[in-house]
Every structure is written in C-alpha cells, then in structure tokens.
Amino acid sequence: MSNVMGIASAFVLSSLFVAPMAMAEESQAFAARNAARAEAFQEAQVALAAQHKNAEQAQKVTAEHSQADSQKDS
C-alpha cells in the first residue's frame, strides 16, 4: 500500500513541477519574449556576417597593397 502512495505522490509532485512549464508555452508573454529573443539572435547573426565580410575585404585590400608595394620595390 505504501508503494502505491509513493508512486501517486511522485506523480502529483512531478505534475506540479511540469505544469508551470506547460502553461508558460501557452502564455502571450512567453511567446512575445521568445519572438524577441529570436529576432535579437537573427540581428546578431546578420551583424556578425557583415563584420566578417568587412574584415575579409579589409584583409584583401591589405594584401593587394602589400603586393603592389613589393612589386614597386622590385
């Protein structure tokens, strides 16, 4: 009998812990926060890609100038 009570109490406690998480996914605040987080992540990815592209172009320009300077010295 105590085994059944232990299992039942474990089920009830787990339900109490899981219920707020299940309700959070349905709330408007959670959805809005999740959308804002996704948008910020997307903006950060775009900024990082642009920064990488600018660094790549600067590196290419530097390499071209170095090449031109070495050809002038020859």
pTM of structure: 0.47
Flag whether pLDDT at 27 surpasses 90.
no
- The more confident residue out of 35 and 66 is 35
Which ranges of 1-74 would DSSP assign to H, the alpha helix? Answer: 2-26, 28-73
Tell me how far apart the alpha carbons of residues 39 and 30 are, in angstroms, rounded to a whole number: 14
What pLDDT does 72 receive? Answer: 58
Mean pLDDT of 16-44: 82
Greatest mean pLDDT range, 11-15, 61-65, 69-73: 11-15
Domain count, the chain: 1
Query: pLDDT band at residue 62, thresholds of 50, 70 and 90?
Result: confident
> Rounded to 5 degrees, what are φ and ψ at 27?
-75, 155
Q: What range defines the domain where residue 10 resides?
A: 2-73
